[in-house]
Amino acid sequence: MSHRRTLQLVLIVTLVVLLLLLPKIFPTIYINLFIEIFIFALFAVSFNLLFGYCGLLPFGHAAFFGVGAYTAGIIFNRLHDIPLPMTLLMAALSGFLTGIFVGIFCVRLRGAYFALISLAFQMFLFTLAWKWRAVTKGDDGMGIFRPELHLPILGNISMMEISNLYYFTLVVVALGIFTCYLFLKTPLGNSALCMRENDFRASFLGYNIFLTKLIIFSVSALLAALAGALFVLFEEFVVTSSIDINMSMTVLVMSIIGGTSNFLGPILGATFYIVFQNWISSITHQWWLIMGILFIVVILYLEGGLISLFQMERFRFWVGRRVK
């Protein structure tokens, strides 16, 4: 056991050092890729909080990504005085509140009904973003300037410098993912598992099914919105594609390819997806087709997703045991 602990520690330290050194090693084009991976890793983790841990499969998770993106976009675009961390917090909060509102209607349902009504809400918000041109500029999209980050000792840090943006995104995403990781280890996180395993029995143990699912749903929405806000900061642009059905399906495909039975699965999935998509789309315009085939292959032949490849006996020590 302690042997395993040491190995895990070594791996974590190596990973942290590697992540910190990446911008020094790779050219700008790759740094952009890494930032995108971070953002989608956070988005996929938020998706998996709902699907992998609470047993609710949303087809419209981009709704919250989009709400975060638009909130941040509008603030960046119109209210220049608000500090960057505050903007992210407000975007996350907007996602949380939207999550509560949408969740009230969704979380009583299960299976296909839940999936479809979450899709319906996403389509509604998509239409809002598309048609309410006065606020969102519709399908023209809204350009933004990345604001500076004011830090007490270090002074003003420009986000136009790509390595600064890299570190900023890394810190926010790491905080988000780590908070989610700890959250799942609390009694409330355990309640989420009870909902997935047997919510009927849980209610006879005194668990409030509705409230538990609503909280998990809203927290998941909060993290998705945070990812959306970072996405706008990165793209310097917000348009309806951040709230459309493609985005919902992207996060779903990422998470399932990566593996939803493990906390790290969606992170691996996001990494693989972005890298693979980048590579394959430079070869062919029909990359969606390839991705689709890959998705089918994973579902049919690799039930636990890519992460399960690492869970075979000789690798097991460092990925840890599967979520049961």
Binding site for other proteins (CB under 8 A): 182-183, 185-191, 193-194, 197-198, 200-209, 211-212, 215, 324
Q: Which residues neighbour 42 within 8 Å (Cβ) at sequence distance 6 or greater?
A: 173, 176, 177, 223, 226, 227, 230
Give the distance from CA 110 to its chain's centroid: 22
Tell me the DSSP string of 154-201: TEEE-TTSHHHHHHHHHHHHHHHHHHHHHHTTSHHHHHHHHHHHHHHH
Give the nearer residue to other proteins in terms of CB position, either 195 or 291.
Answer: 195
By beta-carbon proximity to other proteins, the closer residue of 198 and 246 is 198
| Closest separation in Å from C-beta 13 to other proteins | 22
Shortest Cβ distance from residue 307 to other proteins (Å)?
Answer: 17
Contact yes or no for 159/165 (Cβ under 8 A) = yes
For 150, phi then psi, to 5°, come to: -95, 120
| Residue 19 to residue 24: CA distance in whole angstroms | 10
Minimum CB distance to other proteins smaller for 92 or for 254: 92
104 vs 188, which CB is nearer to other proteins? Answer: 188
Task: Tell me how far, at minimum, the Cβ of 191 lies from other proteins, in Å.
Answer: 5
**What are 196's two structure tokens?**
């997935």
Q: What is the 3-state secondary structure (H, E, C) of 31-50?
A: HHHHHHHHHHHHHHHHHHHH
State which H helix or E strand residue 265 sits in: helix 265-281
Nearest to 243 by CA among 142, 144, 143, 123: 123
Smallest distance from the beta carbon of 309 to other proteins, in angstroms? 21
Terminal Cα distance for the chain, rounded: 20
Kindly compute the dihedral angle of the four CA atoms of residues 224, 225, 226, 228, in this order, to the nearest 10 degrees: 90
Which residue number, 55 or 66, has a Cβ lying nearer to other proteins? 55
Pick from 117, 138, 21: nearest CA to 60: 117
Minimum distance, C-beta of residue 183 to other proteins, in the bound complex (Å): 6
The smaller minimum CB distance to other proteins, of residues 215 and 238, is found at 215
CB of 187 to other proteins, least distance (A): 4
- Choice between 82 and 209, CB closer to other proteins: 209
**Minimum distance from CB of 190 to other proteins (Å)?**
5
